Chain A
């Protein structure tokens, strides 16, 4: 069978993109291999660890179990989109300053899941942070530093 490709149009990190993409391509493969955005990581490879989390219309999405065409017409954001004018986002600064990242492999997913959480709930308590990041597994930090990192980002935003 020869797989026909069809045009996938989306807004990726604030930039309009149009690519010919096969029906069976996963969103993570599209991001990493077609767009070269390798910040998004493949962890468990089956939707069980959250390392591949990106934002689709502001909501967290597991890119390793999503088909690329499922984001047609949507706004997709990856960790590369978190920088603005070369400056880290408040969550990136939080993870950097509070040591929320050790080996770093889960960090892009943690930050995107936290970003999704803060957009729908700008001032979550610790329990809500745990809930919001409950789909993201980290084998290094024990999570305490990750919670502190998110809290630090929230406090930075508070006037």
Chain B
């Protein structure tokens, strides 16, 4: 990798200070655990003149009860989240997602906010400056052609964060802070399916916290993913499922995916699959529903067709496990 480029570090003590710095200098980047941003700086993918270090902001840490659910500060680490008793018992899928990110050493510093804003990834993008220059760069950074889809004008880098799908199936909201005030929106509203502009946050906005709602009695969640090695690697595809059973029927079903598109994808139309048990006819309907909405591209070393099969298999087995789970 390259030597670190020069930058200045700002060390705000409050969130208001942090977003004020960002408003004055839109090219600055927020730094929390650094597990995503620092390698990208070292690869020359991003070169912020200023890095805004969020480590000194106490109000971004901590997990508190809120309206029957939980409020999770954006600077809570993935290790803290995965180990939190209430998260483990009430939001099992979220604990599994947090506990499965990268390896334990990354989870010690990587944060909730960082994982939600994780830069989209591609084999043509997450490479050294030398490698990318030899390949005439790419559409996402400094280049003009997307090597994944050379005839298109769109970047297909994949969103690979594990927390977002687990949060989407429980209907989580995010608190966003900016100098002009704060707003609370459903998590899905901050993403769009564009590998370059995947985040719908203004330049002066920052995620302050995530709000988890109280879940309906019997609504169970799970998260599973496929990756080359069971630690360190980003997911080839990840599946979060939320399911509530009434008698022999699935009464409620929500599915969200990561690794398949440039945003975490909440599958639409799952209510059409409820009302009966997860029999073969239902599962075939499920495969078709998901197959129409996902768009894995050749942005990883595993081919798109394989990732399609992995998504179908993971979703089927997760639904069966949650259905049978009591």
Q: Which residues of A contact B (CB under 8 A)?
A: 1, 3-4, 22-26, 45-50, 53, 59-62, 65-67, 69-70, 113, 131-132, 134-137
The answer to whether A23 and B34 touch across the interface, beta carbons within 8 angstroms, is no
Q: In the bound complex, do residue B34 and residue A131 qualify as a contact, i.e. CB atoms below 8 Å apart?
A: no
Is A23 touching B8 in the complex (CB atoms < 8 A)? Answer: yes
Given contacts A3-B6, A23-B51, contact A131 B39 (CB under 8 A): no
- Beyond contacts A47-B106, A49-B232: 8 other A-B pairs, Cβ-Cβ < 8 A, are A4-B8, A23-B7, A53-B105, A62-B105, A65-B35, A134-B230, A134-B231, A135-B104
Summarize A's interface: helix, strand, loop or mixed: loop
The 5 closest A-B pairs by CB, nearest first: A135-B103, A134-B231, A23-B9, A135-B105, A65-B38
Shortest distance between the CB of B29 and any CB in chain A (Å): 13
In the complex, are the beta carbons of B1 and A45 less than 8 A apart? yes
In the bound complex, CA of A92 to CA of B271 (Å): 57
B87 to chain A, nearest CB (A): 18
Among B102, B109, B230, which residue has the most Cβ atoms of chain A within 10 A? B109
Given contacts A24-B7, A134-B231, A135-B232, contact A62 B53 (CB under 8 A): no
A66 and B104 contacting across the interface, CB-CB below 8 Å: no
Q: Which of B1-42 contact A (CB under 8 A)?
A: 1, 4-9, 31, 34-35, 38-39, 42
CA distance A53 to B108 in the complex (A): 12
By a CB distance below 8 angstroms, the chain B residues around A59 are 108
Determine the chain B residues whose CB is within 8 A of the CB of A46 once the complex forms. 1, 39, 42-43
Contacts of B39 in A (CB 8 A): 46-47, 65
Expressed in whole angstroms, the minimum distance between the Cβ of A156 and any Cβ of chain B is 23
Q: Is B102 a contact of A69 with CB atoms below 8 Å?
A: no
Q: Indicate which residue in B8, B38, B104 contacts A131 across the interface (CB closer than 8 Å).
A: B104
Is B184 an interface residue, CB under 8 A from the partner? no
- Encode contact with A along B40-69: 1 for CB under 8 Å, 0 otherwise: 001100000101010100000000000000
A113 CA to B107 CA in the complex, in Å? 13
What A residues does B105 contact at CB under 8 A?
Answer: 50, 53, 60-62, 113, 135-136
Q: List 14 A-B contacts (CB under 8 A).
A: A1-B49, A46-B39, A46-B42, A46-B43, A50-B103, A60-B108, A61-B108, A65-B38, A66-B34, A67-B31, A67-B38, A134-B103, A134-B231, A136-B103
Residues on the A chain within 8 Å of B31, using CB: 67
Residues on the A chain within 8 Å of B43, using CB: 46
